[in-house]
Structure 1
Amino acid sequence: MGGVYTDAAASSAAFAVALVAAVSAMGFLRRHHRRFGRFVGLPGRVAWSVAATGLGLSAFAVYPLPVGAAAACTGGETAMRLPFETSGALAGPGPWQHAAAAAGALLPLGLLLAYRYRRGVLAAVALCGLAAAGVEVLQSTALLGAYPCPYRVAAAGDVLLGAAGGLVGWLAGAAAKRRLPRSWPSAVPDLMPPGAVRRLAARLLDLAVCWYGAATIAAVAAPALEQTAWSGQFGGEERLRAAALIVLALALGAVVPLLRRDRATPGQAASYLALAAAGAPRPASRPRTLLRTALLYAPVTVLLAMGLGWWALAAGAVHASCALVRRDRAGLFDLLARTRVTTRSAAVGGMPDDLVRFVPPPDPEPPVPAGAVPVQR
């Protein structure tokens, strides 16, 4: 493996991993909102911990990602260790720290398998062992071939350490089941105005997809463009990244809401949010949606493309400051465009899939008098 493909894949690996993590988080949030409605109470906090555990385990599997292909091969150790070597050489502080990290990374997973998902000890240990084996496969294959050589040492003993950490987590989860309320969420109607955390999570997901998507596109496309006749015209990877960021922001922030019934961006759709008209339980019109998008995304996108990320946060804070002091959670640009951010159920209808609905039994037929001939239907 070498040449342009290796450099492009290695330089874009970190951005691609972050992009996959953001898309996976969007899928988890959308599935939860579709089945159970909003995050509420202890089950809601446990659901957030499930997402945090998945992101943390993903980061542990790939950390630290080298910037380029050359940095991945500068380390001394690249071969896979023999089985039990890691768990058998625990004499110094380095191996002990490594063993604690390998076991502790799977401890939250074992706890959640017992407390939230009610899995047995054998199933939990097996799943934690499979997760640890997946981590070692990523390490031994250099992130599935994205790098020319492994940048971390893969050890078969880490699989046993991960299973042991999952067992400890399962024991903690089993104890939590006896003392804490049930953590499996109950479906609730999602009709109240969304909170600040939910709206902020939707915006952060949109920002992550646009930012890391543009970085991935630029890192992969820049080496390919350098081999063409336009190598001196596109301006390098930084300019290509800025152009990709603007295109993605326009596509996901402006085009997608106009095509959707709930007028939601991908991050808002994952959080089951919608853009409604002010004072009316219906989706906002396309002109008002486009006006709000221009007021919100135009300054943020331009500042990010210019490399002024902190000023982009300030532009978002100006919009959010108004929502923090109003009862209807309307931001500054919502007031100007006469729109309101609400839940999908409030704007277009619908209830969570797992919501228990009361269906009245059918009316019983009147009794037949004695001696009467029943009517044949």
Structure 2
Amino acid sequence: MTDVWTWPARIGVLIGTALFVALLIPILVIQVRRYGVISPARLLGAAALAVYGTALVAYTLLPLPSGDLAAWCAQYGYDGAQLKPLQIVADIRERTAGLSLGAAVRDISVLQGVFNVVLFVPWGVLVRRYLGWGLLASAASALGASLLIEVTQLTGIFGLIPCSYRLADVDDLLTNTFGGVLGALVAPWVLRWMPGARTLAAGRGTPRPVTLWRRWFGMAVDYLAYTALGGVLALTLGLGYYLVTGRAPADSLAVWLGTSVLAWVVVFVLPLVTGAGESLGQRTVWLAVVPPDGGARLAPWARLRRGLAGGALWGLLQALGDAATMFDVGALAPAQGLAATVATVLVLSTLFTRGRRGLSGKAAPYLLVDARSLAPEGQPRARGSRPSR
């Protein structure tokens, strides 16, 4: 019995943590763009949301039946739902009649009712405080989530399983909603240490120092953008080719140009030649490139030198390394190793250069400033915002 109650919690911790880690960079990007800074407290809230959401699914929908589903449903499936409100009260009275208080509170019917309430208390807490919804909206969301769970159980995950594999119970709907309301009521006290999204967003436009983590995070965004876009392009191209021809595409120059090269152009080349020349990652973390002479933007030749000593060089080497793998070109085989070396140099060079400019700052002198410190025409907004040289 203990395992029945605890294994979904273990699933929630393990899979929920993995889900949070997988989504960490997108979560950080959202925070930086929405609040202008990373909030550790709300980052912890996002982790709690991932773990709780996974555990909620495990508790309410798992385990799924397996094997011969028709035979399983004939033996264990439910015929319809329990639609009599407060039937749980009658069940508790019947099962605990004549028992001592200690034995009564340990009875499965009592534990099940209490657990249904407790299960949705975190829902109310997170929705009201982390998402910033009002009391009524939080209660309505708990009702809606519980209703969705009960309908999913009743329909066998909307027909995936040919029977109602868990009992859909109106009392579960009532107790879950009650738990959500309780959570929403106590949320302002339980999570008073967590800043609200609106409070943080109010300071979104405040300039902040150019720190090492911002440079490294911007690089991570560039890397993930290139990798993700290349994967999406490859999947899209492969799926389209399969739908037209009925077979997977063979490695070819067109495939390489449409995946690795196109991803390099979109992520590294286009940002370099547009605006002030900041990379996608730098723009994400509010970093702006300013010429040392106070001009509006770098000259084209300076941009080229900057790109060839920065992320654009790494992306080009990655694309050439992909070509070596696809076409078995021995002359291009060192490209992957060179890409790794260049990435290491670019990351470490930010430790030893003024203003965290890195290697590209040596190749083409420029200043990195917080984009929010610049006036619309690209000039410093105030004396205190002048970048360090």
| TM score, norm. by length of structure 2 | 0.53
Correspondence for 2:355 among 320, 325, 328: 328
Unpaired runs of 5+ residues, structure 2, are 1-18, 59-65, 89-106, 326-334, 379-389
In the superposition, relative to structure 1, how do residues 118 and 248 fare at CA in structure 2: closer, same or farther (>3 Å)?
closer
- Tell me how far apart the structure 1 counterparts of residues 57 and 339 of structure 2 sit (CA, whole Å): 29
Correspondence for 1:212 among 218, 228, 232: 228
The CA deviation at 1:54 is 7.4
Are 2:224 and 1:201 equivalent residues in the alignment? no
Deviations 1:301-346 (A, max 9, x none): 5337537989755532321212224451121222222133322123
Correspondence for 2:313 among 269, 292, 298: 298
Match of 2:241 in 1: 225
Contact 2:272 2:307 in 1 (8 A): no
- Tell me how far apart the structure 2 counterparts of residues 315 and 198 of structure 1 sit (CA, whole Å): 19
The CA deviation at 1:226 is 4.5
Are 2:311 and 1:316 equivalent residues in the alignment? no
Tell me the amino acid that sits aligned with residue 45 of structure 1.
Answer: P
Deviations 1:125-150 (A, max 9, x none): 32355567789999999x99xxx979
- Listed as ranges, the matches of 1:111-150 within 5 Å are 111-115=125-129, 118-128=132-142, 130=144
Contact 1:22 1:209 in 2 (8 A): no
- Tell me how far apart the structure 2 counterparts of residues 61 and 312 of structure 1 sit (CA, whole Å): 43
Aligned length: 299
Higher RCO, 1 vs 2 (CA within 8 Å, ≥6 residues apart): 1
Tell me the amino acid that sits aligned with residue 228 of structure 2.
Answer: Y
In the superposition, relative to structure 1, how do residues 30 and 316 fare at CA in structure 2: closer, same or farther (>3 Å)?
same
Match of 2:262 in 1: 247
Tell me the amino acid that sits aligned with residue 302 of structure 1.
Answer: L
- Tell me how far apart the structure 2 counterparts of residues 253 and 288 of structure 1 sit (CA, whole Å): 15
In the superposition, relative to structure 1, how do residues 317 and 62 fare at CA in structure 2: closer, same or farther (>3 Å)?
farther
Match of 1:375 in 2: none
Give the helix-richer structure, 1 or 2: 2
Unpaired runs of 5+ residues, structure 1, are 1-16, 64-73, 352-377
Contact 1:214 1:241 in 2 (8 A): no
Match of 1:289 in 2: 303
- Listed as ranges, the matches of 1:136-175 within 5 Å are 170=184, 173-175=187-189
Deviations 1:56-104 (A, max 9, x none): 78989999xxxxxxxxxx987799997689xx9xx99xxx9xx99x958
Question: What SS is found at the alignment partner of 1:318?
Answer: helix
In the superposition, relative to structure 1, how do residues 321 and 31 fare at CA in structure 2: closer, same or farther (>3 Å)?
closer
In the superposition, relative to structure 1, how do residues 29 and 347 fare at CA in structure 2: closer, same or farther (>3 Å)?
same
The CA deviation at 1:277 is 2.2
Deviations 1:134-173 (A, max 9, x none): 89999999x99xxx979xx998789889867755654563
Deviations 1:173-215 (A, max 9, x none): 321465x485422427643432233333333333333322221
The CA deviation at 1:244 is 0.9
In the superposition, relative to structure 1, how do residues 182 and 221 fare at CA in structure 2: closer, same or farther (>3 Å)?
closer
What percent identity do the matched residue pairs reach? 15
- Tell me how far apart the structure 2 counterparts of residues 262 and 162 of structure 1 sit (CA, whole Å): 53
- Tell me how far apart the structure 2 counterparts of residues 83 and 50 of structure 1 sit (CA, whole Å): 35
- Tell me how far apart the structure 2 counterparts of residues 242 and 163 of structure 1 sit (CA, whole Å): 54
Question: What SS is found at the alignment partner of 2:357?
Answer: coil
Tell me the amino acid that sits aligned with residue 280 of structure 2.
Answer: P
- Tell me how far apart the structure 1 counterparts of residues 368 and 294 of structure 2 sit (CA, whole Å): 12
Question: What SS is found at the alignment partner of 1:342?
Answer: strand
- Tell me how far apart the structure 1 counterparts of residues 297 and 165 of structure 2 sit (CA, whole Å): 52
Are 2:26 and 1:45 equivalent residues in the alignment? no
For the pair shown, the structure with the greater C-alpha radius of gyration is: 2
- Listed as ranges, the matches of 1:75-94 within 5 Å are none
| TM score, norm. by length of structure 1 | 0.55
Tell me the amino acid that sits aligned with residue 210 of structure 1.
Answer: Y
Are 2:288 and 1:274 equivalent residues in the alignment? yes
Tell me the amino acid that sits aligned with residue 254 of structure 1.
Answer: V
Question: What SS is found at the alignment partner of 2:283?
Answer: helix
Question: What SS is found at the alignment partner of 1:324?
Answer: coil
- Tell me how far apart the structure 2 counterparts of residues 242 and 262 of structure 1 sit (CA, whole Å): 27
Tell me the amino acid that sits aligned with residue 338 of structure 1.
Answer: P
